[in-house]
Structure formats: structure tokens, C-alpha cells
Chain A
Amino acid sequence: MKLIFEKSVKGRKCDILPKLDVEPVALPENLKRAVAPHLPEMSETDVSRHYTELNKQVHGVNSGFYPLGSCTMKYNPRIDEEAAALEGFTSVHPLAPKSTVRGSLEVLDTLREDLCEITGMDGMTFQPAAGAHGEFTGVLLIKQYHDSKNDKKRTKIIVPDSAHGTNPATAAMCGYQVVNIPSAPNGCVDLEELKKVLGDDTAGLMLTNPNTVGIFDENILEITKLVHEAGGLCYYDGANLNAIMGVVRPGDMGFDCVHLNLHKTFATPHGGGGPGAGAVGCKEFLKPFLPHSALMEMPGRIQVRGFMGNFLVCVRALAYVMTLGREGIPEASTNAVLNANYLMQKIKGTFTPAFDRICMHEFVLDLSGYEKETGVSALDVAKSLIDYGMHPPTMYFPLIVHEALMLEPTETESIETLDWAADVFRTLYELGKTDPDFMHNAPHHTPIGRPDEVKAARNPIVRYTFA
């Protein structure tokens, strides 16, 4: 479809502002722009039609099944949107006097209390804007803690090889050397490998539990104990919290700090890549290291962004937690786990689970055998799913499983959807054996076919060029 610039007509515009009612003031000559920016010139109808056309070429959670592993694509309730759109929230200046923002502070205080209870933590900041930003903040808590003890020899962060890429990238951004440890054959932390690398240079361990293959690490108490004995701290990556809310808490597993992806577990929408919110919780002894904000009255030394954080995302999360409440929170998690196990059970017999056992909220298929047999790769299967109206699972992750497809159905899908999804997988399993070429060329029913990514990367065209 045409770009917005290709629809622009010189002289066309929307009528938005009244005439200036005071004397104009000109910018000094030396500060003026040489030429006006090329921005689209459109009527409001043009604008509306253009974005509506774009919106049709987007698959959202509302469009259909979205089992994107590790991303917790659950339904995003509309009431949460409505709450976040209340003028009493949207029109509040972050630096308005405290007495005029009591409602906003109540939102944050209530959400903090609730999420601390769910995670077993004592303090929490909402400043981080996303999961990775939360990781950065959390690991800086660890860094400040060691610095406060003048313990300069702790230069290493341990990360299992099954971790999300953000974990090692975060540790590096916090000035730490990353020690990758290989996973045990069951995908969990290998205790012997862990012991080998622990020492007085260990600053901490970053861990997801359940881990990225969807298994709860049964040795978790032993793991956190070993790290603590070595003088390190334990960081909980909350990407997979949706499996365990109300059942078991990171704080009770021995973790010292944790980040939560409010845009995963707490149902705030992903917006095509953001904004999210990466709340960071911590135990009492780390509270003095939580971030502050330069122009607001808060204690603290570090600041990871402007003001308080993605407040309107927090409003959505609070509306969600309020809706679920005491019983709904664990009900969401147990049903997420039930749905994942049910779907795995229904797919089993065609594609092979990488770990054939009870899983948590997600599971990984290993297509390496199937690929050898048919030449049809995980990518081919993923692209073929699109033609059935299903968003593909996460592909080629975690790295410890070859030809991986990682599925996370979430609790908001019905048994009918799961049965349908299993049927689609079964159909493709058979199709790959009879007509692999058809799958190599999938998808067949989308506005574009597979794009040439090599061309895009070799000769980057990242903006429209005006004639």
C-alpha cells in the first residue's frame, strides 16, 4: 500500500487551531530552519483512512490466537483502557503539587502493595519502562549493594545459556562480565556447573523460573542458597511470572529482586512493541537503592528515566489486578498452565515436545528431527500457521533447542481454540511430508510474501526519500 507521503497533497490540511491571539514573535534569523520538514499534508479523512488501512494489516490479540512463547499474549481488557483514558489520569502533570495528585499516588501505592504481595517483595519502583529496562534497574540495585559494602571484587553475573538475550546484555550494560553456564539436560540449572563458577567474584545470578523451556526448576532453593553463600544476590526475571502467581512467590524462592512485565503478566497491551512497564521489586535491604527522580521529592541515587515511569500503563495494570483479585490471580496462572499442558498433549504425536513432561505456562517443540526428515523447518511451519489466521509461536528460541517453536497459549484462550490450534498443527505436520514446497513458500494469503531480509540489511533503506 501507499506510504502516507505518497498520499500527501500540497496545501491540504486539517483545521485544528484557532488564530493566534497575541503578537507574533519571530525566531532570530540564525536559529531558523532552512527548509520546512517534509511532513504529510492531508485532510482528516485522508489521515483516518490511511491509518485504518494500516490497522487492517496488523494481527493483534483480538484478531486471533497468538501463542507467542515468552510474551504472554493474553487478552487485554477494554475496561483497563477506559481507566487509563480518564481525564483525571491523562491530564495530570508529573510535577504538579503533591496535594493535587493524590489519585495518581494512590494508584501507584495500591499497585505496589498488590504486586509486592504477589511476588513476596518489600519495595517496588515503577520507573522502568519495559522488561529490559527493569532488568537494568534490578541489576543496578545489586551493583549499588556491593558498592555500598565497598566490595569491588564482584565483577561477574551468572546467566544460564537458556536465558533471554536481554539478561546477558543487561549484565554487560551494568559493567559486569557475563558468565554463561550450560543447562542440565532437562533444561534447568546444572548445579555442578553453577558451583564451578561461583566465588567471591560473583555479583549475582539472573534467572527465569519457570525457565525459558517452560519448566519450574525444582532445585531453586538450593540454587539461590548457593549464590547467597558465595556472597552474590539473586535476580528474578519476571518474564514467566504468569505461570505461578498466587501459587509460589519469587521472594519465597530466595530471590532478592525481581522485574515484572506489566505488559505480559498484567494484561496491558503491547502496542506493536511498546509501551510496556517493567516494575522492579526488591527485598527490604535493597530498598535504599531504588531509583528516584530529579525534580520529585524521593530518596535514591540512581534514575533510569524521566519522572515516575509509564504511569498510564500502571493504571491499566491496577484495573486488571483489581478485577482478578485474591482468587482471580491464581486462577489465571493455573489456567495458563492447564492450557499449555492441554495444547502440548494435543500436539504430541505429531511434532515433538523438547521436554516431554508436565510443563508450566509454555512449552517448546523440537522440530530438528522433522526438519531432517522432510526439509520443512520451524520457520516454514511458523509461516504456514499464518495462513490459518494464527500468529506463529516464538521461533528458534531458546537457543538450547534446535529448530525450536515455543508456544504459550495463556489462560484467556478457550478449549475450542486450543483444539483448533492442535488440528492446524496436525494438518501442517502431514502437509510437510507430502508437499514441503508449499510450506517453504508460505504464507500464501497475506498482503506480502516472505520479505528479503538480506537485501534490507545489506542496503538499509530506513526512511522515504522525497523526490
Chain B
Amino acid sequence: MTINPEMKYSRDHEWVKEENGLCVIGISDFAQDALGDLVFVNLPEVGDAVTAGEAFGDVESVKAVSDLLCPVTGTVAEINEELLDAPEKLNEDPYGAWIIKVSDVTATEDLLDAAAYEAFCAEA
């Protein structure tokens, strides 16, 4: 399992990175491994409000569906539409395959840095 040192992590296994004033959100390598081969991603629409701790979409494997929980509160500025046709990117390159970018962030969950997240995953 890899942990990208540039990201911060939620306890629900989403990663967060700041980029050009936006919060970029994806799922960790740990998450994609636990979810198995992903076959579809349900994304929000640009302009939707998202709330920290609440679902902003979900990912499907063949036999399960899992909510994507948002680590921040704000407004969806961009969605990665490429994932709609190629959900396998989440498995192949979890830190490259971002899911949404959020603007106007007003609240953020208490996030873990890479080291703390590694320890958190080790306990899980």
C-alpha cells in the first residue's frame, strides 16, 4: 500500500490536496484496495453544495456500492468526468485520479498527515 506524502487524509480514506485555491479530493490506495475493482463512479454536479462528513457520490464494485464522504464543506467546482468512462483509473492510480475539486471551502474535517494516516491504516 502506498501513501502519498503530499496529501492529507480523512479517516474515511479520502485524500485532500490544495491546488490553485481549490480542494482536490480522491480516494487513497488503501481505499481502492479495500473496495476492489471499481466499475462505476456516481459524481455530483458542478455547483452542488457538499458538506464535510456527508456523501458527495458513490463508487460501485460488482457486488457493492460505497458512499464517498466529503472531507470538506464547500461548492463543487470541477468533477473528473474521465472517471465516468474509466473508473479503473481509481484502482490504477488513486493519487492521480482525483474525483472532485471544491471551492469556497468553509469547513474541513480534522485531517491526518501521511504519517498519521499510515498509523491509522495499520490499526484498521
Asked if residues A458 and B87 are in contact (CB atoms below 8 Å), the reply is yes
- Asked if B60 contacts A458 (CB within 8 A), the reply is no
Q: How far is the CB of B37 from chain A (nearest CB, A)?
A: 4
Interface residues of B in 54-112 (CB under 8 A from A): 60-63, 87-88
B39 A454 Cβ-Cβ under 8 A: yes
**Complex Cα gap A413–B50 (Å):** 55
Q: Which residue of A lies closest to B87 (CB)?
A: A458
Q: Which A291-324 residues have a C-beta within 8 angstroms of B?
A: none
**In angstroms, how far is the closest chain B Cβ from the Cβ of A96?**
46
**B59 nearest CB across to chain A (Å):** 12
What are the residues of chain A within 8 A of B40 when measuring CB–CB? Answer: 457-458
How would residues 432 to 467 of chain A score, 1 for a CB under 8 Å from any chain B CB and 0 otherwise?
000000000000000000000110011000000000
C-alpha gap A458/B86 in the complex (Å)? 8
The reply to whether B63 and A454 form a contact with Cβ atoms under 8 Å apart is no
A-B CB contacts (within 8 Å), total count: 14
| Contacting residues, chain B, for A453 (C-beta < 8 A) | 62
The yes or no answer to A145 lying at the interface (CB within 8 A) is no
Closest A residue, CB atoms, query B86: A458
CB distance from A78 to the nearest CB of B (A): 36
> In the complex the two chains form, what is the Cα distance from A454 to B40 in whole Å?
10
Q: Does A396 belong to the interface (CB within 8 Å)?
A: yes
Q: State the majority secondary structure of interface residues on A.
A: helix
B39 touches A396 (CB 8 A): no
- CA A287 to CA B62, docked complex, whole Å: 42
Minimal beta-carbon separation of A394 from chain B (angstroms): 13
- A396 CA to B39 CA, complexed, in Å: 20
Minimum CB–CB distance from B105 to chain A (whole Å) comes to 29
User: Taking A458-B87, A458-B88 as contacts, is the C-beta distance between A396 and B63 under 8 angstroms?
Assistant: yes
CA distance A396 to B88 in the complex (A): 25
* Chain B residues whose CB sits within 8 angstroms of the CB of A454 once the complex forms: 37, 39, 61-62
Kindly state the separation between the CA atoms of A454 and B87 in the bound complex, as whole angstroms: 11
Distance from B35 Cβ to chain A, minimum over Cβ atoms (Å):
12
Find out whether the CB atom of B88 lies under 8 angstroms from the CB atom of A457.
no
Q: In the bound complex, how far is the Cα of B63 from the Cα of A301, in angstroms?
A: 38
Residues of A with C-beta under 8 A to B60: 457
* A396-B63 Cα distance, complex, nearest whole Å: 10
Question: What separation, in Å, do the CA atoms of A5 and B60 have in the docked complex?
Answer: 32
Complex CA distance for A458 and B37, rounded to whole angstroms: 10
With a cutoff of 8 Å between Cβ atoms, the chain A residues found around residue B37 in the complex are: 454
Distance, CA A42 to CA B41, complexed state (A): 42
Residues of A near B63 (CB, < 8 A) are 396
CA distance A449 to B40 in the complex (A): 24
Give the chain A neighbours of B88 by CB distance below 8 A: 458
Binary contact readout B9-29 vs A (1 if CB under 8 angstroms, 0 otherwise): 000000000000000000000
Chain A residues 373 to 396 lying within 8 A of chain B, measured CB to CB, are 396
B68 vs chain A, min Cβ distance (A): 18
Distance in angstroms between the alpha carbons of A236 and B87 in the assembled complex: 40
Complex alpha-carbon distance, A396 and B62, angstroms: 13
Shortest C-beta distance, B39 to chain A (Å), equals 4
| Bound complex: CA A453 to CA B36 (Å) | 12
Residues of B contacting A396 in the complex (Cβ-Cβ under 8 angstroms): 63
What chain A residues lie within 8 Å of B87 (beta carbons)?
458
CA distance A279 to B61 in the complex (A): 34
Report how far A454 CA is from B90 CA in the complex, Å.
14
In the complex, A457→B37 CA distance in Å? 10
- Closest Cβ neighbor of A454 among chain B residues: B37
B33-48 vs A: 1/0 string, CB under 8 Å? 0000101100000000
A334-358 vs B, Cβ < 8 Å mask (1 yes, 0 no): 0000000000000000000000000
- Beyond A396-B63, A454-B62, A457-B60, list 11 extra A-B contacts (CB 8 Å): A453-B62, A454-B37, A454-B39, A454-B61, A457-B39, A457-B40, A457-B62, A458-B39, A458-B40, A458-B87, A458-B88
Residue contacts A-B, CB under 8 angstroms, 13 given: A396-B63, A453-B62, A454-B37, A454-B61, A454-B62, A457-B39, A457-B40, A457-B60, A457-B62, A458-B39, A458-B40, A458-B87, A458-B88
